Homo-oligomer: A and B are copies of this chain.
């Protein structure tokens, strides 16, 4: 963890280095992934099954990849009742929040008589990647699948190399219609290109390792994808009146995800910063996830002391963090002045972890300063907008001559003629 003080002469350079801190996995897997995509495109299921045997040591040759409805139903029975109730509670809250995101259509006629607008419609099929192992989170299943269901997507296909009962139960709750026991770049390729046993989808979302992320990047354009996600991050802004232990555990709730995660405190009280640093040490020792959390905090953590909390605003905008907590009495003042962040948690009683599960807003958010231009996952990511125009003879007489003039200027005679033929 490093300490920065905005009043120090070297602060600008040190803060710039913090902003530039590169935590993304930049393993060069582009060539390997391209080969896998070509193979799956050419040979379909046969390639997927061979790659699954090689990388995941699972033999699908007899069973195929589809997990049947009985197994999914059985998974639900294995989940403890309290956990299932919490999943259902979370799903209902996420569904309610996202229902408010359904975009609106427009159909308007202007004073020339020209009618124009747009109509939203859902994609026909969406694919959801769920990692295996430690990062196989049922909450991510809800956060990725529910917006698709709210959008009205008929077919939501989940792929995962290691389906846990909890993940399968979450999939059933969230409206997933089809689950395949595959992972890696080969699973993303199967979703995008389709195989004999998996019909192609239109959009692929969900987190994954470097191979999965690179496969999505290479397939962007063949299908739609969500933003490429990097390690998680949080910035907590707090005055001296917060409980240092609450701040410490919030910082660690990001750090425990991944040694590459980043947790930053910005405060106007150096003594409070020291108290938080001490609380972090105390809390670290209690965590089963201590190794990852300590690695993250040591390598990427920071405590920044500013003269006044208003000075935090430009720092927040430069960091454009995935998560920002504003632990002050009136968080709305700071919130109204900052601009770039994935999601903001207001007040001392809104730990980011509540938002990870049951707040309602999506926890799939832009990382690595991408909140400058990107948004969290939403219902619109599973929809598209078709615009329309209707001139009629009267409207075309009003607007057509200018179109023909511009077509002439651009050297496109058929464009001009298609308008003039009707005038």
Contact = CB atoms under 8 A, between A and B. Distances in A.
A381 B396 CA distance: 29
Contact of A139 (B356, B406, B417): B406
Interface stretch (A4-12, A171-179, A303-311, A384-392): A384-392
Interface centre among A124, A250, A286, A402, by most chain B C-beta atoms within 10 angstroms, is A402
B387 A354 contact: no
A256 B415 contact: yes
Interface stretch (A51-59, A66-74, A264-272, A372-380): A372-380
B93 A399 contact: yes
Interface stretch (A37-45, A114-122, A155-163, A182-190): A114-122
B249 A403 contact: no
B396 A350 contact: yes
Q: Range of interface residues on chain A?
A: 35 or more
From DSSP, what is the main secondary structure of chain A's interface residues? mixed
B403 A357 contact: yes
Interface in A393-423: 393, 395-396, 399-403, 405-407, 409-419, 421-422
A166 interface: yes
A401 B83 CA distance: 11
Interface in A44-94: 80, 82-83, 85-87, 89-90, 93
A411 B365 CA distance: 21
A147 to B, nearest CB: 12
A384 B390 contact: no
A142 to B, nearest CB: 9
Interface in A234-293: 243, 245-246, 249-250, 252-253, 255-257, 283, 286-289, 293
Given A83-B405, A361-B389, A374-B384, 13 more contacts: A82-B405, A86-B403, A89-B402, A121-B340, A203-B373, A224-B370, A287-B414, A288-B411, A343-B388, A345-B390, A351-B396, A353-B416, A376-B387
Q: Which 7 A-B pairs have the closest CB atoms?
A: A361-B387, A346-B390, A224-B373, A353-B415, A86-B402, A375-B385, A86-B405
21 contacts: A83-B405, A86-B409, A89-B399, A97-B116, A121-B339, A123-B373, A217-B221, A220-B220, A224-B373, A224-B374, A245-B421, A253-B414, A253-B418, A343-B389, A344-B388, A344-B389, A347-B392, A349-B396, A359-B389, A360-B389, A373-B384
Interface of A: 30, 80, 82-83, 85-87, 89-90, 93, 96-97, 100, 106, 108, 110, 114-116, 118, 121, 123-124, 134, 137-139, 166, 202-203, 217, 220-221, 223-224, 227-228, 243, 245-246, 249-250, 252-253, 255-257, 283, 286-289, 293, 331, 335, 339-362, 365-366, 368, 370-376, 378, 380, 384-393, 395-396, 399-403, 405-407, 409-419, 421-422
